[in-house]
Amino acid sequence: MKNKILFFMLLGILTSAQTNRFFYEYKFIPDSNHKEEVKKEMMLLDIDKKGSNYYSQDKFVADSIGRAELERQLKSGGGNISVNRREKPGQVSYKVTKEYPDFKTFLFKNISTDRYKVKEDKKPEWKILSDKLKIGEYNAQKATTSFGGREWTAWFSTDLPFQDGPYKFYGLPGLIVKVEDATGSHSMTLIGNKTVKSVDAEKDMQVPENVKILGFGKEIEVTKDQFKKAWKAYVNDPTKNMREMMMKNGGDTNTKFSFKVKTSDGKEISDPNQVFREMEKRTKESLQKDNNPIEPDMVN
């Protein structure tokens, strides 16, 4: 059986325990040059006694299905492994975890074929104001902070006894039920909650030694400065990781690489050099349209 290298980004399937799940509607504007194009994603904030996890519902479902397919193919022992792209893979690929009681915060985010675990070195410093507002069924109070290169306004409710919130926000006397930046580019609003069997720990998947799944498994733990450096290198040369991987494994006769992409006019290309040029072109075009990140300080 030849080595197989799969480009597959997963959040992981999580084992059961008691958890409080909060549903946030995340509205965001990816391209600051087209503010009329507002995207939406359903985000989940799972809170239990150990901490919290914030992630995209669509991505979690897609990854769970994809993982099940991959496990089934690995167990069958077939010669070829294929993973089909999900119809709704999720628009938000990152997740954020917080560990109680000290709220140690990590951002999990992919760059090319690598998955990073970025430690947050700052906590939100809030100014609590006297303004009150009813958000959904909850009585909320206003607070403001500067964080990640943006000015934020949050509304928290002491009706919900959690000092947590969506993304990296926490530290108020109740759950954050809404938070929005000053430009209106990013907004997270609580729209529902329920108790579920919870996300407690990631389930390990047995993968043969000759199968490599890139973007899955052990993350590269870095500081924000190290992540920023890796991001800038990726922007300058989006296909560097894949080219280096090909060169590293080029002398291994048991390793087989197969690259195929379709151009905008529908033409299929498989020559590695042409594929890399097409991938670089697409990535740079995509980055130009995704110029309004939730946390500018992470990439600028």
Average pLDDT over residues 17-25: 92
DSSP secondary structure letter of residue 162: -
The pLDDT value given to residue 4: 40
- Evaluate if residue 185 carries a pLDDT over 80: yes
Of the candidates 129, 180, 144, 176, the residue with the CA atom closest to the CA atom of residue 157: 176
pLDDT digits (tens, 9 = 90+) for 39-51: 999 999 999 999 9
Who's near 168: CB < 8 A, 6+ residues apart?
A: 96, 98, 105, 107, 120, 124, 147, 148, 295
% pLDDT > 70, the chain? 68
The answer to whether the pTM exceeds 0.75 is: yes
Instruction: Please report which confidence band the pLDDT of residue 221 belongs to, taking 50, 70 and 90 as the band edges.
Output: very high
DSSP secondary structure letter of residue 220: E
Average pLDDT over residues 263-275: 64
The pLDDT value given to residue 59: 86
Who's near 54: CB < 8 A, 6+ residues apart?
A: 43, 44, 45, 46, 95, 96, 97, 166, 167
The pLDDT value given to residue 251: 46
For residue 242, CA distances in Å to 8, 87, 259 come to: 14, 25, 11
Average pLDDT over residues 237-250: 69
Determine contact, residues 183/170, Cβ cutoff 8 Å.
no
The pLDDT value given to residue 51: 96
- Evaluate if residue 13 carries a pLDDT over 50: no
Say which residue, 44 or 70, is predicted with more confidence: 44
Who's near 44: CB < 8 A, 6+ residues apart?
A: 21, 22, 23, 24, 53, 54, 55, 56, 57, 60
The pLDDT value given to residue 148: 96
Who's near 243: CB < 8 A, 6+ residues apart?
A: 276
> Which stretch of 75-84, 87-96, 200-209 has the lowest confidence by average pLDDT?
200-209
Instruction: Please report which confidence band the pLDDT of residue 248 belongs to, taking 50, 70 and 90 as the band edges.
Output: low
H/E segment holding residue 233: helix 224-236
DSSP secondary structure letter of residue 257: -
Domain ranges of the chain: 4-298
Strands 39-47 and 18-28: antiparallel
Of the candidates 185, 182, 166, 149, the residue with the CA atom closest to the CA atom of residue 295: 149
Determine contact, residues 59/93, Cβ cutoff 8 Å.
yes
% pLDDT > 90, the chain? 54
Average pLDDT over residues 277-294: 84
In angstroms, the CA 286 to CA 278 distance is: 12
Instruction: Please report which confidence band the pLDDT of residue 60 belongs to, taking 50, 70 and 90 as the band edges.
Output: confident
